[in-house]
Amino acid sequence: MGIVLGDNQYGKAETRVVWVIRDGPRHDLRDLNVSISLTGDLAATHLTGDNAQVLPTDSQKNTVYAFAKRHGVDQIEDFGLLLARHFVTSQPSITRARVDIEQYAWQRLGPHSFQRAGAEVRTASVTVDGDATRVVSGLTGLVLLNSTDSEFAGFVRDPYTTLPEAHDRILATAVDARWRHAGPVGAGPAADGTGGWADSHNRVRAALVAGFVETYSRSLQQTLYAMGERVLRECAGIVEIRLSLPNKHHLLVDLTPFGLDNPGEVFVATDRPYGLIEGMVRRDDAPTAKGAS
């Protein structure tokens, strides 16, 4: 019985790069947080401290900056692909590279002036593993609330159940979504042939929001499925979507001690604990992808 090195990876996390496009009086900008993780023949550094196969994480950071200048940043999926392919092709010891990118949105105020646009973040996770390429697009921090058309009833009542049925409640969540694209991914338009990554992102986002807004909800699970199903129905290029939806509970306050009724008006917004509803919706003919989460 021996002791051995198992799965391992390393890289530079959270390189914050801002790229300003200044090819005219009207600037634009991209604001990214890039995390890189490399896998390969890395036993030597673990076992003996021999770093002959180790590209410093500092060099990975420099690569992010240099690629932003050399190639620009249009869509984060493409920028992630460029970076991931670079590490796998240029480093003999590296067989797999994963690049996770967060993009922070800015709203234009003027030719060279911008305002940070909220807490919503667009994401991409790109993995190049030998010849295989996977792109998972996503978003986080999209906080949605319906003030009615939500109930929760007919549930299991076990000996620890005290929750009353709710026939009109607030439903609120912070959407964390990640979706896989169909077919081979190219640097051009999106896999569904419509308009590339940005258009794909916008259409998925719109379907998620519409699914939340337009669903009369009997459970957050039902809303989750409705959101995911709508994305797949409306976006032909998407084969699978994973949703993680915290149930941000808003509890109705009992105002009867103060001689007041409270017909769905005054709520406490709670922090913890919270429900957490997680699920995947997919096409039944889509190949499952390991590691695409």
Largest CA distance in the chain: 76
Is the CB of residue 119 less than 8 Å from the CB of residue 147?
no
Using CA of residue 198, residue 200, residue 202, residue 205, what is the dihedral sign? negative
Site track for a second copy across 102-141, x = CB under 8 A: ----x--xx-xxxxxxxx----------------------
Contact stretch for a second copy (CB under 8 A) within 75-83, 128-136, 183-191, 269-277: 269-277
Q: By the 8 A CB rule, do 122 and 102 touch?
A: yes
**Residue 71 near a second copy by CB under 8 A:** no
Active site annotation includes 12: yes
* Angle formed at CA 135 by CA 130 and CA 137, multiple of 5 degrees: 160
- Cα(66)–Cα(44) distance, integer angstroms: 29
Q: Which residue has the tokens 């999209």?
A: 142
Residue 57 a catalytic site member: yes
Site for a second copy (CB under 8 A): which residue of 62, 89, 194, 202? 62
Q: Which is nearer to a second copy, 132 or 163 (CB)?
A: 163
Please give the Cα distance from 123 to 118 (Å, whole number): 15
Pairing between β-strand 171-181 and β-strand 250-252 as defined by DSSP bridges: unpaired
- Cβ proximity to a second copy, 117 vs 132, nearer residue: 117
User: Could you tell me the smallest distance in angstroms from the CB atom of residue 77 to a second copy?
Assistant: 20
Q: Using CB under 8 A, pick the residue from 89, 132, 155, 183 that binds a second copy.
A: 155
Contact pick of 41, 71, 132, 255 for a second copy (by CB under 8 A): 255
Q: Which range, of 85-93, 121-129, 132-140, 189-197, touches a second copy by CB under 8 A?
A: 85-93
Question: CA nearest 11: which of 170, 114, 127?
Answer: 127
According to CB under 8 A, which residues from 88 to 107 bind a second copy? 90-91, 93, 106
Using rule CB under 8 A, residue 49 touches a second copy:
yes
Q: Is 258 in the site for a second copy (CB under 8 A)?
A: yes
CB of residue 271 to a second copy, shortest distance in Å = 5
**Which residue is catalytic, options 27, 45, 57, 250?**
57
Q: How far is the CB of 231 from a second copy (least distance, A)?
A: 9
Element (H, E) at 86: helix 76-90
Determine contact, residues 176/242, Cβ cutoff 8 Å.
no
CB 122 within 8 A of CB 67: no
Asked if 240 contacts 172 with a C-beta cutoff of 8 angstroms, the reply is no
Nearest approach in angstroms of CB 125 to a second copy is 15
At its nearest, how many Å lie between a second copy and the CB of residue 14?
A: 4
CA distance 103 to 158: 44
Q: Which is nearer to a second copy, 199 or 267 (CB)?
A: 267
Interaction of residue 45 with a second copy, rule CB under 8 A: yes
Is residue 249 part of the annotated active site? The answer reads yes
In angstroms, the CA 143 to CA 116 distance is 16
Q: Taking Cα atoms as reference points, which of 155, 177, 157, 158 lies closest to residue 167?
A: 155
Indicate which single residue of 41, 71, 260, 291 sits in contact with a second copy (rule: CB under 8 A).
260
Question: Does the protein bind a second copy through residue 146 (CB under 8 A)?
Answer: yes
**Should residue 205 be labelled a site residue for a second copy when binding is judged by CB under 8 A?**
no
Catalytic site residues?
12, 57, 249
